[in-house]
C-alpha cells in the first residue's frame, strides 16, 4: 500500500469530494440547464450584471463559448442584454425575474442535497473548515496550476 503525505491525502480526498459534488450537481440541475449555464446564473445573482468578457474570464472559457451559453439563457428568458449607459458598444447581461426564480430554486435544491454534510460538525469545526477552505481557494487563485 502506498503511503500518502498529508498534502497528497487531502488532494485525493478533495478529488473524491469534487466527483461526488459533480454527480449531485447533475441531479440538481434541470435537464435543460447545463452546469456552466447555472454558474452564469449564480454569478449574475451575486453581481447584478456582467459583460461576456468578464463571464468568460470568470468561467475560464472562450468568449464564443460564453456567447453560446448566454444566447441559450436569453432564449429561455433567464437573462437579458442591456446596452451600457456609458459605452453603447458594451452589452451587459443580467438576470430576469424568471432567471432569479430558477437560480433560487436550484440553490434551495443544492442546500437540501448538501445539508447532511455539515450536521456532524461542531461550530468550531465548521469555523476551521471554512478558514481552511478559504486558504486553499486563495492558494488556487494565486497559482491556478
How many Å apart are CA 16 and CA 62, to the nearest integer? 28
Q: Is the pLDDT of residue 31 over 80?
A: no
Q: Considering the domain boundaries, does residue 33 fall inside one?
A: yes
Q: Considering the domain boundaries, does residue 42 fall inside one?
A: yes
Give me the domain span that covers residue 119: 26-142
Reported as a single tens digit per residue, the pLDDT across 93-135 is 999 999 999 988 888 887 887 788 888 899 999 999 999 989 9
How much is the pLDDT for 48?
81
The total of structural domains in the chain comes to 1
Do residues 15 and 60 lie in contact, with contact meaning Cβ atoms separated by under 8 Å? no
Q: pTM above 0.85?
A: no
CATH value at residue 92 = 1.10.10.10
Q: Considering the domain boundaries, does residue 17 fall inside one?
A: no
Amino acid at each position: 500500500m502506498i503511503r500518502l503525505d498529508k498534502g497528497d491525502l487531502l488532494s485525493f480526498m478533495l478529488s473524491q469530494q469534487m466527483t461526488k459534488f459533480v454527480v449531485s450537481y447533475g441531479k440538481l440541475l434541470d435537464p435543460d440547464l447545463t452546469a456552466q449555464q447555472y454558474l452564469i446564473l449564480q454569478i449574475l445573482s451575486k453581481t447584478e450584471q456582467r459583460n461576456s468578457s468578464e463571464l468568460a474570464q470568470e468561467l475560464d472559457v472562450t468568449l464564443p463559448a460564453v456567447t453560446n451559453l448566454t444566447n441559450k439563457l436569453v432564449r429561455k428568458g433567464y437573462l437579458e442584454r442591456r446596452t451600457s449607459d456609458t459605452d453603447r458598444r458594451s452589452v451587459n447581461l443580467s438576470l430576469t425575474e424568471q432567471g432569479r426564480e430558477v437560480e433560487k430554486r436550484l440553490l434551495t435544491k443544492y442546500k437540501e442535497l448538501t445539508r447532511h454534510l455539515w450536521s456532524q460538525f461542531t461550530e468550531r469545526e465548521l469555523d476551521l473548515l471554512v478558514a481552511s477552505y478559504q486558504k486553499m481557494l486563495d492558494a488556487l487563485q494565486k497559482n491556478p496550476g
